[in-house]
Structure 1
Amino acid sequence: MHDNPADGYSWPTCAAGPDNGPRSHRLWAEELDRLICRPCEDKTARWLTELPALFRQLNTTATLMRGARRPGGTTSGSKTPPIPPRLDVLSLTAAGGVATRLRDIEDAWRKALGWTVAPWRGSPIQAVSEHVKFLTNNLPWAVSSYESIGQDIEDVRRLHAECTAAVANERRPGRVAIGRCPIALDNGTLCRTDLTATASSHRVRCTGCGTRWETLGEWKRLREQQDAVLREAAGVAA
């Protein structure tokens, strides 16, 4: 239990953000040499430990995003593929995302410790693992000595929540409209069935004529065919 404070004495409280618990919750007597309570430290350590796996799951969906790199370093070959980008995934996997946000925390800790700022470590997947390793190893120091640790814990909590939400959406993907089917039928008319796609699959199938598009090259041709139909329609209207 907490010791009873003397009159006029303000008992130290955990500096972690309100999402870890009430900001005003007091430290235990044996925690008075710390800035963060042990339960909040444990939760932060768990969030950090889970981030690399979450990032790897998000990064596998990058091949479906506009301008995203494939695992082998190649691109889709099309600046406007028919499947629209998931901006929430791109914001986490691209520059300024998970790796950058963890790097910024690490750099601040290194500066506070008087250590050399670490250089960029290869790919984002490699960097995330290295940043997490550093932050996890130095978390005991930060919760006891680093005055800005409360904000950093909130940043880690928010980052973990964003990644978890994005991954959960991949398990239950919604369908999005990607235009109409441009395939010409046997009678000379266009199919024009509304097409939909989901970021969890690389396959698109027209429910009207049954045509399938299953590769990045086929997606590119689908977009080109759709654009050609739109240009022709615009020419006729003019």
Structure 2
Amino acid sequence: MHDPDTLDDYSWPVCVTPNCNRQLWVAEATRWACRPCEDKTTARITELPALFRQLDTTAALMKGASRINGGGSGSRTAPIPPRLDVLNLVGPGGVAARLSAIEDSWRAVLGWTVAPWRGNPAEAVPGLATFLANNLLWACSSYGEVGQDIDDLRRLHAECTALVNDERRPGRVQIGNCPVRVGDRVCWTPLTATAASHRVRCGGCGTRWETLGEWRELRARQETVLAEAAGVAA
């Protein structure tokens, strides 16, 4: 698979997994993906069924839950809205479908018949994971497209793990415009902040505000610029 036409064309084989590209060991020279990538992928595949069960339980509770209000009257609030990001993974087009697509491509290369669908996603995921784990060594050794599949499995595992751990990226809010003067004009680039950091940086002029005092100064300078603009307009 790595045979060059001439010695001048030869370059040492590397792992085909995106963002790896590590030179293969001598003992790996006939492989497409390196053993570290295989080992990490095996661990991810093994963990996916348990991650799916946790997500499936969370989705079911959020989709059908309703709460009794605190007043004791027995009336019910509206159902809690479902987490669409969770439902997208546990539903028909989620984890099970993405694993099934990889299995189908491997079976096609091996010349095996396409496996019948294994029931609902909760029933299918364990069987899909078992197939992929059992045939990963073959894929790393003999399937030239395995690098993309390894990367797909990495991203799927990361998505599931983030949702199980409720790792939501904090949103950004607008906090006005940059009041710093650059030459004869005010920068006035829109500024945003996030609850995850007390630092604000202007993408236009590069000015930073990091402390409580600097935040107060920022607000005061914004108000000054707005007041000057209002005075000119009047």
How do 1:159-174 and structure 2 match up within 5 A?
A: 159-169=156-166
Is 1:105 paired with 2:105?
no
Indicate the residue corresponding to 1:90 in structure 2. 87
Give 1 or 2 for the bigger CA radius of gyration: 2
Indicate the residue corresponding to 1:12 in structure 2. 13
Q: In 2 relative to 1, CA 139–81 (structure 1 residues): closer, same or farther, beyond 3 Å?
A: farther
Contact 1:66 1:81 in 2 (8 A): no
Is 1:46 paired with 2:43?
yes
User: If the length of structure 2 is used for normalisation, what is the TM-score?
Assistant: 0.61
Q: Which runs of 5+ in 2 are unaligned?
A: 1-6, 66-76, 171-234
Identify the structure with bigger relative contact order (alpha carbons < 8 Å, sequence gap 6+).
Answer: 1
**RMSD (CA atoms):** 2.2
Q: How far apart are the structure 2 equivalents of 1:26 and 1:142?
A: 18
User: If the length of structure 1 is used for normalisation, what is the TM-score?
Assistant: 0.60
Question: Letter of the aligned partner of 2:14 in structure 1?
Answer: T
Q: How far apart are the structure 2 equivalents of 1:148 and 1:43?
A: 17
Query: What is the CA distance between 1:123 and its match in structure 2?
Result: 2.4
Q: How far apart are the structure 2 equivalents of 1:60 and 1:81?
A: 20
Question: Letter of the aligned partner of 1:89 in structure 2?
Answer: V
Contact 1:17 1:154 in 2 (8 A): yes
Q: How many residue pairs get matched?
A: 152
Query: What is the CA distance between 1:30 and its match in structure 2?
Result: 1.0
Q: How far apart are the structure 1 equivalents of 2:107 and 2:125?
A: 16
Indicate the residue corresponding to 2:119 in structure 1. 122
Contact 2:63 2:79 in 1 (8 A): no
Query: What is the CA distance between 1:66 and its match in structure 2?
Result: 4.0
What SS does structure 2 have at the residue aligned with 1:140?
A: helix
Identity of aligned residues (%): 64
Q: How far apart are the structure 2 equivalents of 1:9 and 1:115?
A: 34
